[in-house]
Amino acid sequence: MNTVSIGEGFGRVNLIGEHLDYNGGHVLPLQIKNSIICEIVENKNSESISIVSDKYKDSLTVKKLEKRNNWADFVIGSCLYFDKKFSVKINNISIDIKSSLPLGVGLSSSAAITVSTLKSLSCYFQKNLADEDLINLAFKVENDFVGVGGGVMDQFVSVLGNQYEALFLDTFNKNYELIPIFKDYQFLIIDSNTQRILSDSEFNKKKELCLNAAKKMKIQNLCAKTKIDENDIQLLSDEELNVSKHVIEENLRVVKAAQYLKDNKAEEFGKLMTESHISLSQHYRVSTDNLNKLVDLSNSFGALGSKLTGAGFGGAIVTLVKKELVEELKKYILDGYPNAKFI
């Protein structure tokens, strides 16, 4: 056992392919430099776990690994699932969470906190946690313990991605490929700086619509289809039809976008980003006025394309712009949207 250990979990920006990872589709996220760091220190004279975070004022004392319905659930869940897997007794440690990743803006802080805690635990208890096990465990903490049901994209890119290559992942069979990003263009993240209304229930509701639609069409998941035919239209409710349209078309867009990235075709890639945003706004209905405004501003400045990133309901957009124009774009955005923050 180590007496001090540190684990780091990175955030991500999803370049294209939203709401596909729980529908068996393709995604194209990129790891970002912002991360969450979890430090574990032995606390010999204690029978409990103490948890502190630089982002939240409260410090918690945990005697039982049970859900508290707050931010610490990601840490508590990680301890519980790690304990289940390795049968270690976790009861006399202090856990310190530090974050350079803005929370709740769609850059995957949930996966980052879970991955960092699990990495730190495996180092502290000197247990070998293979990448695949780390991804699966982090996924289970979020889905089964905390109860927000996304797919496996965030955990995957946090563990296996890097800042220079996008991770092209088929979430159905978990095959993946790393593709270098454009040299002359930057994926700039712009935070709308408005509280994200990621009601977990809204997210889960969208997921349920997708699962129901797939069931009605008798397919394993929505991405098993490449188009919706007349028969499907009769079967589905309006809401189911809308989410299905987004998912099926977005999946085709991601495959094209990955090829454009390989072929260094930035303009074509940018167009697909904007198409993705329009579909997220009109079909999947997870955009907001602020996100739409940022996308419009960025595109009217001359970015190649822009879209919301992550689940939506607020948060941030990602825009593709020539590197030499980044500073000018920032000024332009601040003129039209003074609250914007650049990440």
Nearest CB to ligand GLA, comparing residues 246 and 271 = 246
**Count of beta carbons in the 10 Å neighbourhood of residue 58:** 10
Burial class of residue 238 in the structure, from the number of CB atoms within 10 Å of its CB (0-12 exposed, 13-18 middle, 19+ buried): exposed
Q: Which of residues 36-95 bind ligand GLA (CB under 6 A)?
A: none
Query: Which pair of structure tokens corresponds to residue 130?
Result: 């293979």
Nearest residue to 214 (alpha-carbon basis) of 24, 3, 7, 50: 24
Which residue of 9, 13, 15, 19 would you call a contact of ligand GLA, by CB under 6 A?
19
CB of 303 to ligand GLA, least distance (A): 21
CB burial of 155-171 (b: ≥16 within 10 Å; e: otherwise) equals bbbbbbbeeeebbbbbb
Q: Is 25 in the site for ligand GLA (CB under 6 A)?
A: no
Are the CB atoms for 167 and 160 separated by under 8 Å? yes
* Residue 151: CB minimum distance to ligand GLA, A: 4
How many binding residues for ligand GLA (CB under 6 A)? 12
How far is 50 from 54, CA to CA, in rounded Å?
A: 14
Please identify, using beta-carbon distances, which residue of 12 and 119 lies nearer to ligand GLA: 12
- Residue 150 interacting with ligand GLA (CB under 6 A): yes
Q: 197 or 233, CB closer to ligand GLA? A: 197
Per the annotation, the verdict on 58 as an active-site residue is: no
Task: For the beta carbon of residue 126, count every other beta carbon within 10 angstroms.
Answer: 10
We find the least distance from the C-beta atom of residue 328 to ligand GLA, in angstroms, to be 30
Minimum gap (Å) between residue 155 Cβ and ligand GLA: 8
- Asked if 10 and 31 count as a contact pair (C-beta separation under 8 A), the reply is yes
Dist. CA 193–CA 92, nearest whole Å? 38
Count of helix runs (H) and strand runs (E) in the chain = 10, 12
Binding mask 307-326 for ligand GLA (x = CB under 6 A): ---xx---------------
Q: Which of 21, 73, 154, 232 is catalytic?
A: 154
Query: Minimum CB separation from ligand GLA for residue 101, in Å?
Result: 13
- 11 binds ligand GLA per the rule CB under 6 A: no
Q: Give the footprint of ligand GLA on residues 255-314 (CB under 6 A).
A: 310-311
289, 297 in Cβ contact below 8 A? no
**Closer residue to ligand GLA, CB minimum distance, 5 or 309:** 309
Contacts with ligand GLA, residue ranges (CB under 6 A): 14, 18-19, 21-22, 108, 150-151, 153-154, 310-311
The residues annotated with a catalytic role in the active site are: 154
